[in-house]
Structure formats: C-alpha cells, structure tokens
C-alpha cells in the first residue's frame, strides 16, 4: 500500500512538493499530482516536477501522486500520510 502525497511532503533528495490541488485534500492539505512542481536541492536537478501519477485516482482528471513515485530529477516522493492508500 502506498500513501498519498500532499503539498509539503519531502523527496529522497531533500526537496519538497511545492504545490498541488486546491480541491482534493487529505487532512486539510492538497494532494500532489502529475506535473506539480517539486524543489530539489541537488545541483542541476531544478526545476523538477512529479513525473508519475496513479492510473485511476485522479483530481479533476489529473493523476494523483503516491509514496515512492518519481520526480523528473530522479528523486522519489515520501508520503507523510499513510491513511489514504491504494493497492495499485
């Protein structure tokens, strides 16, 4: 099971999700989606964006990101919330 990613969640490279949904929220924080921006402090890795999204869980047509999904810089997302999950 993978936890949903929200605005402010970290990456394996020490970055974080910069923005996400204003409509779909878990515990009051917007979910992150495919192509949402991510900061990456690793030299040469910015700008970076979420490059994976769930095939069926979508926010207004945009795939939602989950734990361990990748960013365009090669880092992976780390969920701070494990109560909203999917088996895919």
CA distance 76 to 87: 18
Per-residue pLDDT, 68: 96
Query: Spelled out in words, what is the top-level CATH class assigned to the domain 1-81?
Result: mainly beta
Residue 87 confidence (pLDDT) above 80: no
**By three-state DSSP, how is residue 45 classified?**
coil
DSSP state of 31: B
Q: Tens of pLDDT along 13-41?
A: 999 999 999 999 999 999 999 999 999 99
CA distances (Å), origin 27, targets 13, 14, 40, 41: 25, 23, 25, 27
Q: What is the pLDDT of residues 45-74, one digit of tens each?
A: 888 999 999 999 999 999 999 999 999 999
Of 58, 66, 74, nearest to 21 (Cα)? 58
pTM of the model: 0.89
């Amino acid at each position: 099971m993978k936890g949903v990613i929200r605005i402010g969640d970290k990456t394996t490279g020490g970055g974080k999700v910069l923005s996400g949904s204003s409509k779909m929220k878990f515990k009051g924080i917007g979910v992150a989606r495919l192509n949402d921006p991510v900061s990456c402090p690793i030299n040469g890795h910015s700008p970076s964006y979420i490059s994976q999204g769930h095939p069926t869980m979508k926010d207004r047509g945009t795939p939602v990101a989950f734990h361990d999904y990748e960013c365009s810089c090669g880092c992976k997302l780390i969920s701070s919330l494990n109560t909203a999950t999917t088996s895919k």
